Each structure stands twice: as C-alpha cells, then as structure tokens.
Amino acid sequence: MKLRYFSHSSFQITTNAGQVLLIDPFLDDNPTSPVRSDQLHADFIILTHGHGDHLGDGFKIAKRTKSLFICVNELANYVSDKGFQAHNMHIGGGHDFPFGRLQFTIAHHGSMTPEGSYAGEPAGVVLQIDGTTLYHTGDTGLFYDMKLIGEMTPLDYMLLPIGDNFTMGIREAVKAVELAAPKVAIPMHYNTFPVIAADPEEFRARLQAVGRVAKVMAYGEEMEL
C-alpha cells in the first residue's frame, strides 16, 4: 500500500489491489499543492469535516470518477443532496469496505458546508488496510482519548496537524503522539497559509527527544507503507 501527501491535510492511499482513496482533497485553491484535481482519480473520498479546505475539490473529482464519499451522517446527506454517492457513518462507528475497515473518531474542531450550514461533527478516521493501521486525526485540538484510540487499535501511522491557530501546534502534537503511540507520526496542516506556519523539522526533533519517530513528507511525496 502507498501513501502520498499533497500538503495541508490531503492524502492519497493506493491499496495493494489498486483502489485509490483520497482524504480531504484540497488541491486547486491550495497554494502548496503540487497537483490539481483534474490529475487525480478516486474510488473513495473520505472527508473529516465540511470546511472548504477539506471538502476541497471532492465534488470535481467525484463528478469525473464516480467516487463514493465516506463521511459523518450530516455531511454525507449534504453530499447526497448535491447528487453524489455517499456512505453515511458517525463517530465511533466502523464499517468494512472493499479496501478495508474504516472507523470515525472524535475530533475537537468545527464543521460547516461552504454555504455555511451545519455539517455534523468533525471527525478523525482510523483505517485498517492491507495489514496497516493509519490514523488521520482530521483538524483537532489535543484530547486525552487519543490514548484510548491507540490502545484499542495499535497504530502504525498517525497523521496529525502541527500548524496551531485552528488546530494543535507542535507542542500539543508531540503530546498527542505520546498518547496514541503510533510507530510513525506524519505532520500535516501546516505552512499552507501564513497563520499556520510551522517547522516540521522542529516537530520531528521534539519527537525524537522523547523517543518517538516522525516522518516529514515532502509535498507530492509517495511512500510505501
């Protein structure tokens, strides 16, 4: 299985069977993204919440590639109302998909549609695919239940924000990794805009100082998991 990082909170997962998942595909209006939406295909689009920098270009991609959206109930209803396929879920619930298992977790943030209507609770997502477990926290502040998430489902990779202001900063993100105890932490949601400027190498060094491992992915980088 492969993981590719497009910057901000946008990732692509390609399974061993060739299925393609996109998480929070914010690309065309993202000044740091190395790709545009018309360059990508998706079988599944996972949304952590409805903010424009996470819903992003999901509709553009799904219109071309007939993607299935996976998101919390209210956001899934919004997606369906726009004429797209959606699988409704909610916090704490899991489901087995053709690519593997997906479960939504809590996230401390907000969520609304681009039109300003309520889009349900923000979420993180735990994915179990091809024998690898990955936790994308979504936009969130630090919360102690991250420890419980890691205990219930031991994590190989944790993708978490470090940009501060709207989410955790570096100090809180380091504590989040200590709580969830993934094998590898990957920083996200930083340097897209001046207000969320952060140094991922500082994050990596602080984690190393407490005996944890971070992988800083370059924008556009793909790696084998």
How many angstroms separate the CA atoms of 18 and 72, rounded? 25
pLDDT at residue 49 in the model: 98
Please give the CATH architecture assigned to the domain spanning 2-215: 4-Layer Sandwich (3.60)
Give pLDDT tens digits for 50-63.
999 999 999 999 99
Percent of the residues in the chain that have a pLDDT greater than 90, as a whole number = 99
Q: Which two tokens stand for residue 46?
A: 């996972």
Predicted pLDDT of residue 13: 98
**Which residue matches tokens 């061993």?**
16
Q: Is 149 left (phi over 0), alpha (psi -120 to 50) or beta?
A: alpha
- Cα separation, 173 vs 189, whole angstroms: 11
User: Cα–Cα distance between 76 and 106 in angstroms, integer?
Assistant: 17
Q: How high is the pLDDT of residue 53?
A: 96
Give this prediction's pTM.
0.97
> For the segment 102-120, what is each residue's pLDDT rounded down to a tens digit?
999 999 999 999 899 899 9
Task: Report pLDDT digits (tens) over 6-22.
Answer: 999 999 999 999 999 99
Q: Compute the mean pLDDT over every residue in the chain, rounded to the nearest whole number.
A: 97
CA distance 161 to 190: 7
**Longest pairwise C-alpha distance within the chain:** 49
Strand duo 184-188 + 2-7: pairing: unpaired
Low-confidence stretches of the chain (pLDDT beneath 70): none
Domain residue ranges of the chain, discontinuous segments joined by +:
2-215
What does the pLDDT read at residue 218? 98
